[in-house]
Structure 1
Amino acid sequence: MDGTVHNSAYGDDPESTSVSSRTKKGGWRTFPFTIASVAGISIAFGGLLTNLIVYLIQEFNIKSISAAKIFNVFNGCTTMLPIAGAIIADSFLGCYSVIWISSLISSLGMLLLVLTAAIRKLRPPQCENGSNLCKYPSEVQFAVLYISLALASIGMAGTRFTIGPMGANQFDKPKHQRTFFDWYIFAMYIATGISSTVIVYIEDSVSWALGFGICLAANILGLAIFLAGSGFYRHLKPQGSPFVGLARVIVAAFRKRTMRFSLKSEDYCQGPDVADYKEALFPTKFFRFLNRAALKAEGDTKEDGSIKKPWKLCTVQNVEDLKSIIKIVPLWLTGFFLSTPLVIEGSLSILQALAMDRHLGDHFKIPAGSILLFTLIATCITLFLLDRFLFPFWEKFTGHPITPLQRVGIGHLFNILGIAVLALVEAKRLKIVRLHRLQDQDNAVAPISVLWLVPPLAISGIGEAFFFPGQIDFYYQEFPATLKSTSTAAVALYMGISFYLGNTVIDLVRRTTGWLPDDINKGRLDNVYWLVGVLGGLNFCYYLVCASCYRYQNVEVVKVTNDDSAE
């Protein structure tokens, strides 16, 4: 990179008035409130999401593949919509208001879901799984179900990822912010693990209404804890939509497309923050045509030097903020096929579990929805080992900390490996199915322990411990200061899109092959896993190219001379 004019990603925030005012509140005293809130919200989310496929199959008589697709749609909405919540937080309401309003919305959705489980008329008559005589839900029953899932999805989307940047905003030091993100993911996964075991067991063995009721209570408790810490938070005031500023750069650059570039920094609009720098800022060479947006022309400024025509003149910082977003886009695109294998694995492994022996001893049967617990456990253990042992050792051995992109790259490899091992396990399961001729029976359970799924799911969990915190840290660091909430929501956005890509892959496979029938004993699920594994491998190659070309922008403020920057 030729040079950067960005403020440190962990430095002064334009939403705050001064460093002294920032230090009056925030810090580690806010940590118990934010992390406990994350835990409560994640327990609610996990208890609802983890067992949703089983609920749709057993209580709503929906076919297995259709249930998996509904699961992916719901999960996709929950992970795509955070970008909307982040934009609202950055532009208008702030993180605090978005979080508590969203919690109320998700509570309403979960209340409706509790009613679907508690009121018999809101569900179709119960029947044996796989029977052709099963009655499909009525339009009213579907409407109540979808409204409850929609409200829960919208509400959870506004809380789970918005609370991340708000928690990080409470700290000034990069090390503390990185530590917060690690514990943020740790708390999220531990809470989801609790819901995947305790709540799922209650849903399967005691009552769906009671299980969903506990989810509702956890969500309300998380909201109460969050509100209890209100007096300690830094409430950063939104400064209006930062996206308008980015759009102005494009418009201004186009309107001045015939102007000649200048080699003098004083010919470029510096803005009100120029006093924070020892010398005037000069735009970088990257996407050089955008620099015209900051070139001053006659009539662009007022007598006091302020901008008179904001759609014709922008500051150098505005220009560089847009450039920073453009530089991140190629890496952001790699997230689609990093998350898509996880999406397919997460939904189809539950169908595998339903077709395997889930007994532990004579009296206990592992709920199919709890199988993903092994991914969560592996992630949490790995996060602890990374934070306490492996990363300190890396820093001591190499002399510098591991970079976010290195961390994400390692996660890529574990992700591909986990899919490959899962394909091998499925091939073994299908071999046993054919050996016992179970493919001729509807939805037969193969005599192979569900614990065979533990190694591949654990490998995927190790990968998640590397790339999820690494991605959040990377985007939080590299996004402009006015887009901190949007930065972490960008991770959620491509995760959400990946759920729809997962559905697209499933649809294509079902249309073009016989690999994925409703009864997976009659298909070749292992080939599906190999397919997404190959896609993941190609995506990893693309990631390596993008990561090797990328230069970190917001690590520190770098000043360059006019001779170095101008052509």
Structure 2
Amino acid sequence: MDGTEAQSSNSDGKRGGAVMGLTLAAGGWMSNLIVYLIQEFNVESINAAQISNIVNGCSNLFPVIGAIGIILLGLTATLDPLRPQPCDINGSSICTPPSGVQYAVLYAGLALSCIGSGGTRFTLATMGANQFDNPKDQAVFFNWYFVGVYAGSALSNAIVYVEDNVSWKLGYGVSAVLNFIGLASFLLGRRFYLRDKPQGSPFTGLARVVVATFHKRKVQLSSKIEDYYCGKDRITTLNIATVTKKRFRFLNRAALKTEGDVEPDGSIAKPWRICTIQQVEDLKTLVRIFPLWSSSIFLGTPIGIQASLTVLQALTINRHLGPHFQIPAGSILVVVLISTAISLTVIDRFLCPMWQKLTRSSPTPLQRIGLGHVLNVLSMATSALVEMKRLKIARAHHLQTRPGSIVPMSVLWLFPQLVLVGLGEAFHFPGQVALYYQEFPASLRSTSTAMIALIIGISFYLSTALIDLVRRATEWLPGNINEGRVDNVYWVVVVAGVVNFFYYMVCSSLYKYQNVEEGADESFSTDK
């Protein structure tokens, strides 16, 4: 192993440790948040699910800040004045709501923890991939990155078990320590990292394309290549004969040189009146991929709804596996993580090679995402059927008016829906990362994987809004879900998922893969 390879290996290991530590810390408090809010802050179940969705959304949009947040959460579990009195104190069943100060400390801790988690999770992914020039090496890094994320998330359920069976203060304390370990691991590898020099925000260039196009909206496009700005030092090989069939030709006006736009030495005189051909092509690429990206938002929204409602379902049924072990309600989602991890291995070792033998080609990112859509819809339909059975048993035992009663139904009934959503995630999540990293312009590649974080964040916010809408418009989601119709919520999600799948099919059929670096000039047209 030469020096460069050793340096990459060392830095890769440090980032892997950072990912593992930060994911463990985040999973330790986030996975069990619904249960903590219900049991320790006397928050109603649906409201707790809403808060959890908002927190999950925030966490996907800096490590020291995250550690401070987790410390604040630990203080709410440690200091009695920072949380309301238990509901059963002095034999009373009346729950005292949190005070303004208690809410302030709780929300401050959640906000800081979200910022800490969101500021590192996908930034580390792009930073790591940027350490390698070879696509195969980048693929290996992404594999190990996902291993770190899923392994950390799965192991974090050990912290959830500590919170449920030992103490909340110990669980949050462990999360804080792990957060600092992850930060230390990251900082120890700083001298090994290959860091790109800051060159300004690429989004400024995209904004300039829009402004310049508007300013020149009445200017006629030229058929001469020399009339378009390629950059001060760039030599273009643009061939007009090969570029007349491309879309979004009106944006080409942003690169059209007019009087006073360019200095005699070739530099730009008016930055908001002219752009380079590459900047125009970068914007075109984003416009082309935006419909596919938007379809993924409505792929993630049902997952957010299912995640919160499944925890509420788990709280109402028998979670014992054997006479001595009970699955913590907040840990039920570990089934998704295990399913995804196993599915990723099976897909990589068996399904992909089999696909290659049958079709003589590897499955494309769009095919993987499409299969993820189908499995996601099947998972939601399974959730609806399982909830129908749970409600039938609850009503047979007259548990509608007995909040807190356990429905005599095994927690294993919740496993199929979680296994299916995990299997779907093994297809669509890596497919999305590969698509954006492969298709994004070179100038935006370092932020491409952050598009996944943006999708997850928006999805959880949207799931929160949809649950709130259902609560206001129907009686399906009361405080005691045994009195409601959670199954109807799932069926609505199924219908929305089917509609979104057809939308995705239309978008994917119209999309054409492209090599931005080699094909940018070829997609530049001078037609009107």
With structure 2 as the length reference, what TM-score do the two structures score?
0.94
- In structure 2, the CA distance between the partners of 1:503 and 1:562, relative to structure 1 (3 Å rule), is closer
Letter of the 2:361 counterpart: H
Give the corresponding residue for 2:139: 178
State the alpha-carbon separation in 2 of the partners of residues 418 and 72 from structure 1. Answer: 19
Deviations 1:387-435 (A, max 9, x none): 2232233234322222111111111111111111111111111111111
Give the corresponding residue for 2:70: 110
Where in structure 2 are the equivalents of 1:82-481 lying within 5 Å?
Answer: 102-128=62-88, 133-196=94-157, 198-272=158-232, 274-275=234-235, 285-481=246-442
| Conserved 8 A contact 2:344-2:426 | yes
State the alpha-carbon separation in 1 of the partners of residues 144 and 426 from structure 2. Answer: 11
With structure 1 as the length reference, what TM-score do the two structures score?
0.88
State the alpha-carbon separation in 2 of the partners of residues 125 and 273 from structure 1. Answer: 70
Query: Does 1:34 pair with 2:12?
Result: no
**Where does structure 1 lack aligned partners over 5 or more consecutive residues?**
1-21, 82-101
**Aligned partner of residue 116 in structure 1, secondary structure:** helix
- In structure 2, the CA distance between the partners of 1:440 and 1:223, relative to structure 1 (3 Å rule), is same
Question: Which deviates more, 223-232 or 150-159?
Answer: 223-232
**Aligned partner of residue 409 in structure 2, secondary structure:** strand
Deviations 1:137-174 (A, max 9, x none): 11101000000100011111100111111111111122
**Where does structure 2 lack aligned partners over 5 or more consecutive residues?**
none
Per-residue deviation at 1:482?
A: 2.1
- In structure 2, the CA distance between the partners of 1:556 and 1:299, relative to structure 1 (3 Å rule), is closer
| Conserved 8 A contact 1:26-1:170 | no
**Aligned partner of residue 509 in structure 2, secondary structure:** helix
Letter of the 2:66 counterpart: S
Per-residue deviation at 1:554?
A: 2.7
Cα RMSD over matched residues? 2.3
Per-residue deviation at 1:116?
A: 0.9
| Conserved 8 A contact 1:444-1:521 | no
- In structure 2, the CA distance between the partners of 1:390 and 1:24, relative to structure 1 (3 Å rule), is closer
Letter of the 2:205 counterpart: G
State the alpha-carbon separation in 2 of the partners of residues 402 and 183 from structure 1. Answer: 20
State the alpha-carbon separation in 2 of the partners of residues 525 and 564 from structure 1. Answer: 53
**Aligned partner of residue 36 in structure 1, secondary structure:** helix
Per-residue deviation at 1:547?
A: 0.6
- In structure 2, the CA distance between the partners of 1:376 and 1:31, relative to structure 1 (3 Å rule), is same
**Aligned partner of residue 505 in structure 1, secondary structure:** helix
Deviations 1:246-289 (A, max 9, x none): 111111112122222112222111114634x6557997732111
State the alpha-carbon separation in 2 of the partners of residues 268 and 473 from structure 1. Answer: 33
**Aligned partner of residue 447 in structure 1, secondary structure:** strand
Query: Does 1:57 pair with 2:18?
Result: no
State the alpha-carbon separation in 1 of the partners of residues 161 and 522 from structure 2. Answer: 64
Per-residue deviation at 1:467?
A: 0.9
Per-residue deviation at 1:507?
A: 1.5
More RCO (CA 8 Å, sep 6+):
1
Per-residue deviation at 1:220?
A: 0.9
Query: Does 1:487 pair with 2:423?
Result: no
| Conserved 8 A contact 2:56-2:457 | yes
| Conserved 8 A contact 2:268-2:274 | yes
| Conserved 8 A contact 1:104-1:155 | yes
- In structure 2, the CA distance between the partners of 1:370 and 1:312, relative to structure 1 (3 Å rule), is same
| Conserved 8 A contact 2:252-2:524 | no
State the alpha-carbon separation in 2 of the partners of residues 561 and 203 from structure 1. Answer: 58
Give the corresponding residue for 2:49: 68
Letter of the 1:544 counterpart: M
Question: Which deviates more, 236-245 or 148-157?
Answer: 236-245
Letter of the 1:477 counterpart: Q
State the alpha-carbon separation in 2 of the partners of residues 517 and 328 from structure 1. Answer: 40
State the alpha-carbon separation in 2 of the partners of residues 431 and 70 from structure 1. Answer: 28
| Pairs aligned (count) | 523
| Conserved 8 A contact 2:243-2:522 | no
| Conserved 8 A contact 1:343-1:502 | yes
Letter of the 1:43 counterpart: L
Deviations 1:171-228 (A, max 9, x none): 11222223322332222111111112x1011000111111111111111111111111
**Aligned partner of residue 234 in structure 2, secondary structure:** helix
**Aligned partner of residue 213 in structure 2, secondary structure:** helix
| Conserved 8 A contact 1:283-1:319 | no
Letter of the 1:466 counterpart: F
| Conserved 8 A contact 1:294-1:319 | yes
**Aligned partner of residue 335 in structure 1, secondary structure:** helix
State the alpha-carbon separation in 2 of the partners of residues 518 and 565 from structure 1. Answer: 61
- In structure 2, the CA distance between the partners of 1:487 and 1:559, relative to structure 1 (3 Å rule), is closer
State the alpha-carbon separation in 1 of the partners of residues 440 and 205 from structure 2. Answer: 14
State the alpha-carbon separation in 1 of the partners of residues 152 and 278 from structure 2. Answer: 40
Give the corresponding residue for 2:26: 45
Letter of the 1:534 counterpart: V
Letter of the 1:52 counterpart: L
**Aligned partner of residue 408 in structure 2, secondary structure:** strand
State the alpha-carbon separation in 2 of the partners of residues 329 and 538 from structure 1. Answer: 18
**Aligned partner of residue 333 in structure 2, secondary structure:** helix
Letter of the 1:59 counterpart: E
State the alpha-carbon separation in 2 of the partners of residues 500 and 357 from structure 1. Answer: 30
| Conserved 8 A contact 2:340-2:426 | yes
State the alpha-carbon separation in 2 of the partners of residues 559 and 47 from structure 1. Answer: 45
| Conserved 8 A contact 2:441-2:516 | no
State the alpha-carbon separation in 1 of the partners of residues 485 and 207 from structure 2. Answer: 48
**Aligned partner of residue 332 in structure 2, secondary structure:** helix
Question: Which deviates more, 303-312 or 343-352?
Answer: 303-312
Letter of the 1:148 counterpart: G
Per-residue deviation at 1:505?
A: 1.5
